[in-house]
Copies of this chain bind each other. A is one copy, B any other.
Amino acid sequence: MPGSTFGQRFTLTTFGESHGPALGGVVDGMPAGVAIDLERIQHELDRRRPGQSKLTTARNESDRVSLLSGLFEGRTTGTPIGFTIPNADAKPGDYSHNEAHYRPSHADYTYDAKFGVRDHRGGGRASARETAARVVAGALARQFLEQLYPQGPAPQVSAYVERVQDIAMPSPPAFYDRSTVDATDVRCPDPATARRMEERILAVKKAGDTIGGSVVVVAQGVPPGWGEPVFDKLHADLAKALWSLPAVKGLELGSGFSGTLMRGSEHNDAFTSASGSIRTTSNHSGGIQGGISNGEDITLRVGFKPVATILAEQQTVTRDGSASTIAGRGRHDPCVLPRAVPMVEAMVLLVLADHALRQRSARL
């Protein structure tokens, strides 16, 4: 596949540039019979959309999704779900300065190097706007996973902002429900830390600069057995999913880099048997052992770099290689993290939906 499709059994194919007529995608492999709540899909998009708070870009996209197929009388039919999201507030004129100049740490130069041509309006295909389609698909995946076990608890995925630049939550990664996460604009479940993060973001925005940080995502209720040996380990697919998001610089599973400082005798997760189910007494493994879920919380930390668009003038070159300078215009986020939360959840949900289906082939 050429690179716009993700997944094997539950797949998403996306299309769309930042300032073209529309973005969209196709979810294929959705099993038949899943009841779909359209408002919840829109709500996920609203969490990602620009202009949602003073912390984000001023681009004001309503981001209304239209589902065009694959649903009948409120349920999935097993056929592909096509959808579009119009670009309503596109202002391509804003980006004419991008045409000749390569913005530092953006994808302008590399797209030209690869394709010899580039839709320079607002980043084109490289714009983070592309992730809107992922959020729609993630919302569909979430509803599938919620209905997967009519009797038992559903796999749940929740992300939050753990750290903005050097302002970090004091507590270790954990599962927080959405109301707690969304209680603050910055989507940090610790109110005191959230307040400090917001102040920092606004200060940086005022300075025309940008910052990054980290998002933690936890998948709870994933049953033991998801993931495959060797190349398609559950965390290998999660890694690909998360690294395919814009601006990612680092990823940790469970104990992460800290775990690499420990001895085996400290790091190993002892098994114990609790009311009939096998559990571990610690979770340095981050819920995955040998590439396969063990029933504990799957815990990942994703590091995002500071947004590349800044207002200060920067040294760069033009397409023909002449030295030049460029300063940010257009509408951009001072910190991607609050809006990254739904993107991170979406990618984890897509991987889980895919492996939920793949798992059905594991045994005779």
Contacts and interface: CB of A to CB of B under 8 A. Distances in A.
A309 interface: yes
A342 interface: no
A135 interface: no
A27 B134 CA distance: 18
A5 B27 CA distance: 11
Interface string A242-261: 11101011111111110111
B3 A13 contact: no
A303 to B, nearest CB: 4
A16 B69 contact: yes
Nearest to A305: B259
A100 interface: no
Given A32-B363, A304-B260, A4 B239 contact: no
Nearest to A316: B271
A66 B212 CA distance: 38
A192 B296 CA distance: 41
A257 B166 CA distance: 11
B109 A267 contact: no
A293 interface: yes
B306 A21 contact: no
Nearest to A364: B33
Contacts of A276: 321
A364 B263 contact: no
Given A110-B292, A306-B264, A236 B244 contact: yes
User: How many copies altogether?
Assistant: 4
Most buried by B among A13, A20, A230, A246: A230
A291 interface: yes
Interface residues of A, number: 160
Given A70-B15, A82-B22, A306-B263, A243 B235 contact: yes
Nearest to A294: B110
Interface stretch (A44-52, A57-65, A111-119, A174-182): A111-119
Contacts of A295: 113
A125 interface: yes
Given A213-B260, A263-B204, A5 B15 contact: no
Contacts of A32: 114-117, 362-364
Interface in A9-52: 9-11, 13-17, 20-26, 28-29, 31-34
Interface in A87-122: 102, 104-107, 109-111, 113-119
Given A69-B16, A72-B119, A28 B3 contact: yes
A105 B212 contact: no
Given A3-B358, A4-B80, A78-B115, 9 more contacts: A14-B80, A31-B361, A33-B364, A75-B117, A77-B115, A102-B271, A104-B270, A110-B224, A239-B239
30 contacts: A2-B9, A5-B5, A16-B82, A17-B79, A21-B66, A23-B68, A32-B362, A33-B117, A76-B117, A77-B124, A78-B362, A78-B363, A82-B84, A104-B270, A109-B271, A110-B290, A113-B292, A113-B294, A130-B229, A211-B263, A212-B259, A212-B267, A231-B240, A236-B239, A236-B243, A239-B239, A243-B253, A264-B307, A266-B306, A360-B360
